[in-house]
């Protein structure tokens, strides 16, 4: 098929590349000319394992092209994917200005029947907004062109997006048009070779499914974090509790790992947006508000433990931070717990040495310049460089290279042998026997 994907961010680039890998002709459109030129040269705007070679191969073989002109991409397009950002507005609701802008441009150019797909995460009712926006432009032009609007939310995990797209758990398609459903069925047929994964439903149902899925996962994280905090008060080891409840098939082990909170571009934004949707229909989303509140509190867990151990005034103290991205497998620092930790430590007068396997460039771009100018924050070239003369090592992101560290080297490098583990990566007994003072989330920290 001939596909046009508007937006070359995380969702758009992964989706367009994977569709091209399955033999489709894909044009990716972005208003950022610099980004487009970089993509043409094989320079990707995001880090995602396995994505670079897929982009290069499909571009070289002519199935994947990049342009800043939607008009150039329109010819023969059967399906348009809107994959632009929907950032949170001031009140936490999803800002749809980019989605509407794309819909207007499609309406101003559309010449023949096509399916317009909302791939971005958008509130319930957005497909109707897109349909009306396109129709207004068609009416303005005085042309009668048929089209359908479909909701096809993405369910990609950063760090495993290629696998998720190529071998999906489910493909959710919201449409009331049999013609559009058949076209989408054909498009996704190569991804359903083993068994049918496509779920057809109403447009509004599909829009809600995305928000409900992310909010459910965020709820599990906040739940286990709340239990972990209670365990700390009751002298209970949450790791045993986690295994005990996770063994129940109705609960499962996924997303019940205590830690210093969730971040990223999806969970915080989608929980907030769903709360605002509830407010808009005069519904009290008490559980979702509690999920958000617990997570905001949990992001301060590491800095709270630091201050409990060293006091509120951290002047003349240095801390080593391992991990800056919101999770392993990505350089994404949006809503990352590390941002909260760094701000708290620096505000208390501390000096920080930090290391992340892939997020260093993003950190230099996104973190306040004054942190670097004052030498209060130093990004190191190696994980052990971040431990030189520190008073404690603070683990924030559970990257694999951090999981089995050289404890002898750490003891030689660190001024004080204190580990505060924000992801429960280490076995407390082993760390303490090696001569370290250890604190974990909900662990027995005697």
- Active site residues per annotation: 266
CA-to-CA distance for 442 and 45, rounded, in angstroms?
A: 37
Give the C-alpha separation, 387 to 241, whole Å. Answer: 32
Helix (H, G, I), strand (E, B) or coil at 323: coil
- DSSP state string for 231-289: HHHHT--HHHHHHHHHTSTTT-STT----S---SSSHHHHHHHHHHHHHHTT---HHHH
Spacing of C-alpha 268 from chain mean position? 9
- What is the distance between the alpha carbons of residues 279 and 93, in angstroms, rounded to a whole number? 10
Residue 199, classed as helix, strand or coil, is strand
Tell me the DSSP string of 41-103.
TT--SS--TTHHHHHHHHHHTTSEEEES-HHHH-TT--EEEE-----B-TTSSBP-HHHHHHH
User: What's the Cα-to-Cα distance from 385 to each of 352, 353, 356, 393, rounded to whole Å?
Assistant: 12, 8, 11, 11
Distances in Å between the Cα of 276 and the Cα atoms of 214, 215, 361, 413 are 15, 13, 33, 48
CA-angle at 147, arms to 143 and 150, nearest 5°: 150
Cite the DSSP H helix spans in 348-444: 360-366, 369-373, 407-413, 428-433
Closest CA to 120 of 206, 247, 246, 58: 206
- Using CB atoms within 10 A of its CB, is residue 73 exposed (0-12), middle (13-18) or buried (19+)? buried
Phi, psi of 436 (to 5 degrees): -105, 150
DSSP-derived letter for residue 349 is T
């Amino acid at each position: 098929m001939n596909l046009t994907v508007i937006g070359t961010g995380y969702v758009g680039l992964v989706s367009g590349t994977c569709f091209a890998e399955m033999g489709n002709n894909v044009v990716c459109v972005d208003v950022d000319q610099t980004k487009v030129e970089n993509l043409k040269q094989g320079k990707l705007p995001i880090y995602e394992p396995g994505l670079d070679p897929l982009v290069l191969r499909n571009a070289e073989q002519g199935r994947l092209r990049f342009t800043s002109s939607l008009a150039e991409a329109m010819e023969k397009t059967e399906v348009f994917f809107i994959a632009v950002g929907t950032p949170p507005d001031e009140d936490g609701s999803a800002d749809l200005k980019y989605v509407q802008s794309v819909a207007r441009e499609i309406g101003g150019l559309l010449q023949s029947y096509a399916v317009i797909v909302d791939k971005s995460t958008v509130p319930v009712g957005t497909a109707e907004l897109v349909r009306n926006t396109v129709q207004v432009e068609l009416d303005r032009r005085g042309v009668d062109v048929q089209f359908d609007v479909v909701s096809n939310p993405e369910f990609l995990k950063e760090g495993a997006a290629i696998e998720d797209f190529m071998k999906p758990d489910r493909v959710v398609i919201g449409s009331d048009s049999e013609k559009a459903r058949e076209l989408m069925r054909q498009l996704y047929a190569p991804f359903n070779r083993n068994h049918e994964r496509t779920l057809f439903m109403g447009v509004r149902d599909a829009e809600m499914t995305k928000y409900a899925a992310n909010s459910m996962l965020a709820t599990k994280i906040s739940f286990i974090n709340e239990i972990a905090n209670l365990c700390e008060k009751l002298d209970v080891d949450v790791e045993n509790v986690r295994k005990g409840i996770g063994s129940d098939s109705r609960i499962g082990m996924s997303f019940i790992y205590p830690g210093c909170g969730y971040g990223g571009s999806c969970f915080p934004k989608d929980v907030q947006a769903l709360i605002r949707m509830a407010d808009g229909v005069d519904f009290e989303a008490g559980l979702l508000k509690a999920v958000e509140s617990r997570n905001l509190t949990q992001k301060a867990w590491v800095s709270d433990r630091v201050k409990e151990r060293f006091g509120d005034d951290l002047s003349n103290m240095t801390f080593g931070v391992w991990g800056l991205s919101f999770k392993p497998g990505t350089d994404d620092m949006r809503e990352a717990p590390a941002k909260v930790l760094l701000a708290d430590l620096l505000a208390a007068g501390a000096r920080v040495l930090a290391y992340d396997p892939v997020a260093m460039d993003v950190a230099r771009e996104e973190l306040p310049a004054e942190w670097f100018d004052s030498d209060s924050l130093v990004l190191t070239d190696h994980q052990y460089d971040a431990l030189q003369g520190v008073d404690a090592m603070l683990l924030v992101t559970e990257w694999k290279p951090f999981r089995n560290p050289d404890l002898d080297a750490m003891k030689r490098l660190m001024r004080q042998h204190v580990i505060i583990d924000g992801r429960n990566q280490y076995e407390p007994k082993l760390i303490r026997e090696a001569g370290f003072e250890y604190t974990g989330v909900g662990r027995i920290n005697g």
